[in-house]
Structure 1
Amino acid sequence: MARKVIVTGARGGLGRAVTEAFLAAGYKVAVPVRGAADAVAPFSGEVAVIEGVDLGDPAAAQSAFDRAKAALGGIDVVVNVAGGFTFEMISDGSPESWREMFAINLETCANLSRAAATGLSDGGAIINVGSAAAVVAGAGMGPYAASKAAVARLTESLAAELKGRVRVNAVLPAIMDTPRNRADMPAADPATWTAPAAVADAILFLASPQARAINGALVPVTNPAVD
């Protein structure tokens, strides 16, 4: 029987790569999105699009989980990809940036993880997307890195709470080679970045039964891809 997964942030570069990886592995996939289903570009296989979802709202996140579970006939895995980035120095930055980063990176993750903690059956898995910047943050990374550090602590805490009944892990990617990053950093060398497909492969492994003994791990995915 095919396993079932929810992938958030599926319209972004990493989210799309993760969705395609799960489809290729034979999973049934649901993706919650803010807008309408017909605004989502087609994937290589059939995907249940759960439309009109604000993951920053706990009740909406719970509803999205329940709707996805009904659409797929169960949920085995939740992958929290949804998030965002802002480059801003602390010395001349704004409190609004901090609130925004914690809202879109931490709260969305926490809200769907809360639903999954009680809604996944034994043997399920939650995989969160953190960041290598949560370990060592550079200049201009303060709000973003702090929010991703919070995702790491959320991952460890929930893993301890669930005691392996549902495994909870996170990947910590470095800068990824996405169209958005190329546009935002035109002077950088994308050959030094990590391919979204490589991050997706790590997530797929953590979701699999082969990772059944891994719980509460923060897995760096930082090497440049060589395709």
Structure 2
Amino acid sequence: MSATFEYADQTVLVTGASGALGSAVCQTFADTGATVAATDVVEPDDDSAALDPAASERIHFYQGDFTDESEVERVVSEVADDHGGIDALVNVAGTWKGGSPIEDTDVDTFDLLLDVNLKTMFLASKHALPHLKERDGQQGAIVSVSARASLEGGEGDGPYRASKAGVRLLTETIAEENEGVVRANAVMPSVIDTPANREMMPDADHETWVAPEDIAEVMLFLCSESASVTSGAAVPVYGEA
């Protein structure tokens, strides 16, 4: 059994678009006919965003720092003006840092993780919600990236885990506050199969890792009307990892 999704005439805003997962999300939505507004603090290049040239006419890049509210407001407004609204928001922007116990973690690392993982999701959602509520006859959708690590404490990466737990809790809050109007869900990956992660962990069992494209397919479903009864969920996407 297979499912197909059609996003023609819909605009999807994707943050963190220049990374491995973000570029896979952009490509996946573009393949279904969506107009993709891809945004990141850095422009995509051949290594970070290997997007299919055939789909590029449906992917439009907007550079902006989503830890800065004025930048978020500018980009979201530009996307809505350029494409007549926003139908879905996919919050991919994020980073990982760890390796130190709390007493050895500097405040700059803490601030970085909270800013990139949680603040970007908060600001993007805050400014996209008014546009998502304006969809004619259909619910808007937000899907954000939390993490399997957000489910419990662990040694060496406490601020990362806390930031991703915050993504889950804000997702539940947005779902509660916008019931029947905008659905909000999160996905929880573990280690994603990217070139950077393979380089960082060359001796790991890469066969147990999940490809970015597979995670993007779940996000595609959660933004679709097929997931109309699902809101406030945190969906595992970590396979056997």
TM-score between both structures, scaled by the size of structure 1 = 0.92
Q: Is the 8 A contact 1:131 1:172 kept in 2?
A: yes
Q: Is the 8 A contact 2:11 2:85 kept in 1?
A: yes
1:127-206 equivalences under 5 Å are 127-206=143-222
Shift in CA distance, 84/24, structure 1 to aligned 2, threshold 3 Å: same
Q: Is the 8 A contact 2:18 2:43 kept in 1?
A: no
User: Structure 1: 5+ residue runs without aligned partners?
Assistant: none
Tell me the equivalent position of 2:62: 50
1:130 Cα offset (Å):
0.5
1:93 Cα offset (Å):
2.0
State how far apart, in whole Å, the 2-side matches of 1:63 and 1:167 are: 24
Tell me the equivalent position of 2:238: 222
State how far apart, in whole Å, the 1-side matches of 2:195 and 2:45 are: 22
Q: Is the 8 A contact 2:192 2:211 kept in 1?
A: yes
Percent identity, aligned pairs only, is: 39
Q: Is the 8 A contact 2:18 2:42 kept in 1?
A: no
Match of 1:88 among 91, 96, 99: 99
Tell me the equivalent position of 2:34: 27
Match of 1:61 among 46, 66, 72: 72
Aligned partner of residue 113 in structure 1, secondary structure? helix
State how far apart, in whole Å, the 1-side matches of 2:200 and 2:217 are: 25
Partner letter of residue 117 of structure 1?
L
Q: Is the 8 A contact 1:195 1:224 kept in 2?
A: no
Match of 1:114 among 126, 131, 151: 126
TM-score between both structures, scaled by the size of structure 2 = 0.87
Tell me the equivalent position of 2:4: none
Q: CA-to-partner distance for each residue in 1:17-48, whole Å, 9 max, x for gaps?
A: 11111011111101112245789856221211
Shift in CA distance, 139/219, structure 1 to aligned 2, threshold 3 Å: same
Q: How many residues are matched?
A: 224
